[in-house]
C-alpha cells in the first residue's frame, strides 16, 4: 500500500501552483517596474524643480517685508513671479505668472487705477478731499481698484458697468461705497454703452448745482470742461461756484480746491500704459534677471500688453509678445490673419452676449483704443482661446498647482502652452504671463431668465467658476482638454 498520492492528482496542482506563482511574480515585477518608473519620473521632476528654484534666489519683496508702507496704495505692485509647476514640468519650459491677484484690490488693475489717480493729481485735475468724484466705465476690476484708492484718497466713485458681469464685483464695489449703475451691454457706438455713459455722467457733474442754483443768468450748461492733452480724459468742475482763468488754472488755488467730476477713461488714458511700462514691465525684467523669451497677455483695454510688451522689447527686441484672445474678440484676426479686427460670431448672430461673446471676463476687444494702438507695433503673435480651453485650464491649475485663478489668467496660460508648442521650445526658455485676478470673483449664483424673443434661456451674469452655469451654456468642464494640449506632438 502506498502513502504517496497518485501522480495525476499531484501534477495538476503542481502545475497550477507554478503558474499561479509565475502570475504573481509577473504582477509583482510589473507593479515594481511601474512604481520605479513613476518614482524615477517624480524624482527627476523634483530635481528639476529644485534646480529651477535655485536659479531664483528667494529674496524678500522689499516694499512688503521690512518696511511700513504708507496705506493701502503701498501694497500695490511688486508682486511675486510664480513658477507654474504643472505646466513648466510638462513642457520642459519655464512658465511664470505675475501674481497680480495679490494686489489689495485683487487685480492687476490696482496699478492702473493708482497711476491714473496719481497722474490726475499731478496734473491738477484732481485734489484729495475736495468732494470730487471719479467716474469710470468698467467690467468691474478697474472699478474695484478705483473705489479702493478713492476711499484712501478722499474721493467718491461712480462706476458704470454692464449688467452681465459677475455679481461678486458689484457686491465688492458697493461694500467700498461706490455708486454702481448697471446697464445692458451695448456697442461702443451706442450712447448708452457703459464707457460712454461714464463720460456723460462725468461731464454732467455739477449740473445739479445749476438746476438747484439761484443764478438764473447762468446759461452755459458745462462751462468748465478740461480735456487732457494726452487722451480724452475729461474733467468738469462744479459749474456754478467756479470762476477761473482757462489759461492759468494750474496756479489757481481756488479753482484747484473745488470739487470736480473726473472721467478716468482707462481705455484711452495713457496712464494705463505707463503703469505697466514703468511698473509691471521693469519688475518682470528684474525678477527674471532679463531671462525672458516671451510675454503673453490678453487685452481688455490693451494697457498691460502694450506697457509690458513695449518695455520688454525695449530691453531685448527678441522677446516675443503674444496675445491670448478669447472667443468673440477680434484681436486674433487683426494680428494673425487679415489685419482687420473682426470675429466670425459678429456676423453670424450667434452671440450669447452683446459685447465680446465669451465666458471669459476682462479681456477681448473689437475696437482700437489708444492703449491698444501702442501694442500693435510690437505684437508678434496671437492665439485664439476657446471658452472650453480656458475652463479646462482653470480646473487643471487647481488640481495640480492649488492655484484658484480667474478666467483671463486661465486664458493667458492656455496661450502660453500654445506658444511654447508652436515655437517648439524646450529646456532653457522662459515665458511670462499675468495672473490678473483670482477665481473668487467668478462664481456667483446662477440667474437665468427666459428671453421670449430668442426662445432660450439667457443668464444675466457670467459664472466662470460655476459648473451648473457652464453646463447650461454648453461649455464643457473637461480637464482632458489641457491634458491633450500638453501631450507631446498633439496639435496646437
Footprint on this chain of ligand PLP (rule: CB under 6 A): 107, 139, 141-142, 298-304, 361-363, 406, 408, 436-437
Minimum gap (Å) between residue 469 Cβ and ligand PLP: 18
Q: Using CA atoms, how far apart are residues 267 and 377, in angstroms rounded to an integer?
A: 18
98 is catalytic: no
198 contacts 136 by C-beta, under 8 angstroms: yes
How many other CB atoms are found less than 10 A from the CB of residue 185? 18
What's the closest the beta carbon of residue 212 comes to ligand PLP, in angstroms?
36
- Residue in the structure block whose three cell numbers are 529644485: 50
Q: Cβ-closest residue to ligand PLP?
A: 362
DSSP secondary structure string for all residues of 50-87: HHHHHHS-----HHHHSS--SSGGGGSS---EEE-HHH
Smallest gap, in angstroms, from Cβ of residue 477 to ligand PLP? 20
What's the min distance (Å) between Cβ of 175 and ligand PLP? Answer: 18
The CA distance from 240 to 218, in Å, is 8
Q: How far is the CB of 302 from ligand PLP (least distance, A)?
A: 5
Smallest gap from residue 106 Cβ to ligand PLP (A): 9
Comparison of 202 and 436: residue with beta carbon closer to ligand PLP:
436
Residue in 47, 55, 109, 204 annotated catalytic: 109
Please identify, using beta-carbon distances, which residue of 259 and 302 lies nearer to ligand PLP.
302
Report the residue number, 255 or 464, with the smaller CB distance to ligand PLP: 464
439's grid cell? 477665481
Closest to ligand PLP by CB, 210 vs 265, is 265
Give CA–CA dist 401/81, Å, rounded. 15
Q: How many whole angstroms separate alpha carbon 369 and alpha carbon 353?
A: 21
Tell me how far, at minimum, the Cβ of 398 lies from ligand PLP, in Å. Answer: 17
228 vs 409, which CB is nearer to ligand PLP? 409
Residue closer to ligand PLP by CB (options 107, 444) is 107
Which CB sits closer to ligand PLP, 160 or 363?
363
Q: Is the dihedral of CA 436, 441, 443, 446 positive or negative?
A: negative
Q: For residue 22, give the C-alpha cell.
A: 509565475
Please count the other Cβ atoms lying within 10 Å of the Cβ belonging to residue 201: 20
Residue with cell 456667483: 444
For CA atoms 184, 188, 190, 194, the dihedral sign is positive
d(CA 139, CA 461): 11
DSSP string, 353-412: SSSS-SS--S---SS--HHHHTTGGG--EEEEE-HHHHHHHHHHHHHHH---B-HHHHHH
By annotation, the residues acting in catalysis are: 109
Amino acid at each position: 500500500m502506498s502513502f504517496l498520492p497518485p501522480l495525476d492528482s499531484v501534477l495538476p496542482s503542481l502545475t497550477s501552483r507554478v503558474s499561479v506563482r509565475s502570475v504573481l511574480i509577473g504582477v509583482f515585477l510589473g507593479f515594481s517596474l511601474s512604481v520605479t518608473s513613476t518614482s524615477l519620473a517624480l524624482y527627476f521632476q523634483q530635481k528639476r524643480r529644485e534646480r529651477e528654484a535655485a536659479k531664483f534666489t528667494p529674496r524678500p519683496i522689499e516694499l512688503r517685508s521690512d518696511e511700513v508702507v504708507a496705506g493701502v496704495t503701498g501694497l500695490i505692485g511688486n508682486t511675486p513671479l510664480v513658477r507654474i509647476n504643472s505646466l513648466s514640468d510638462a513642457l520642459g519650459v519655464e512658465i511664470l505668472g505675475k501674481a497680480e491677484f495679490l494686489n489689495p484690490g485683487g487685480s492687476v488693475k490696482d496699478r492702473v487705477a493708482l497711476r491714473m489717480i496719481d497722474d490726475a493729481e499731478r496734473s491738477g485735475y484732481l485734489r484729495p478731499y475736495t468732494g470730487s468724484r471719479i467716474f469710470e466705465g468698467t467690467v468691474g476690476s478697474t472699478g474695484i481698484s478705483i473705489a479702493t484708492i478713492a476711499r484712501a484718497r478722499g474721493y467718491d466713485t461712480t462706476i458704470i458697468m454692464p449688467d452681465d458681469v459677475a455679481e461678486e464685483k458689484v457686491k465688492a464695489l458697493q461694500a467700498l461705497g461706490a455708486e454702481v449703475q448697471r446697464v445692458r451691454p451695448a456697442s461702443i457706438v451706442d450712447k448708452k454703452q457703459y464707457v460712454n455713459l461714464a463720460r456723460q455722467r462725468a461731464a454732467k457733474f455739477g449740473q445739479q448745482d445749476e438746476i438747484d442754483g439761484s443764478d438764473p443768468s447762468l446759461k452755459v450748461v458745462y462751462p468748465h470742461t478740461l480735456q487732457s492733452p494726452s487722451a480724452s480724459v475729461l474733467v468738469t468742475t462744479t459749474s456754478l461756484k467756479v470762476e477761473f482763468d482757462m489759461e492759468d488754472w494750474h496756479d489757481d488755488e481756488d479753482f484747484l480746491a473745488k470739487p470736480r467730476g473726473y472721467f478716468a477713461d482707462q481705455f484711452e488714458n495713457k496712464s494705463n500704459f505707463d503703469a505697466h511700462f514703468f511698473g509691471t514691465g521693469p519688475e518682470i525684467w528684474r525678477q527674471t534677471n532679463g531671462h525672458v523669451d516671451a510675454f503673453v497677455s490678453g487685452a481688455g483695454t490693451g494697457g498691460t500688453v502694450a506697457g509690458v510688451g513695449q518695455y520688454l522689447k525695449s530691453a531685448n527686441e527678441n522677446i516675443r509678445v503674444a496675445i491670448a484672445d478669447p472667443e468673440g474678440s477680434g484681436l486674433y484676426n487683426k494680428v494673425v490673419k487679415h489685419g482687420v479686427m473682426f470675429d466670425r460670431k459678429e456676423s453670424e448672430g450667434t452671440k450669447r452676449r452683446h459685447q465680446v461673446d465669451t465666458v471669459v471676463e476682462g479681456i477681448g476687444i473689437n475696437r482700437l483704443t489708444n492703449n491698444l494702438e501702442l501694442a500693435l507695433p510690437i505684437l508678434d503673435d496671437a492665439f485664439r482661446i476657446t471658452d472650453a480651453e480656458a475652463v479646462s485650464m482653470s480646473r487643471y491649475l487647481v488640481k495640480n498647482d492649488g492655484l484658484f485663478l480667474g478666467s483671463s489668467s486661465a486664458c493667458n496660460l492656455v496661450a502660453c502652452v500654445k506658444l511654447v508648442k508652436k515655437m517648439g521650445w524646450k529646456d532653457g526658455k522662459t515665458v511670462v504671463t499675468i495672473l490678473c485676478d483670482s477665481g473668487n470673483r467668478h462664481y456667483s449664483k446662477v440667474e437665468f431668465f427666459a428671453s421670449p424673443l430668442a426662445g432660450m434661456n439667457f443668464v444675466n451674469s457670467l459664472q466662470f467658476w460655476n459648473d451648473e452655469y457652464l453646463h447650461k451654456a454648453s461649455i464643457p468642464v473637461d480637464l482632458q482638454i489641457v491634458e491633450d494640449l500638453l501631450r507631446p506632438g498633439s496639435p496646437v
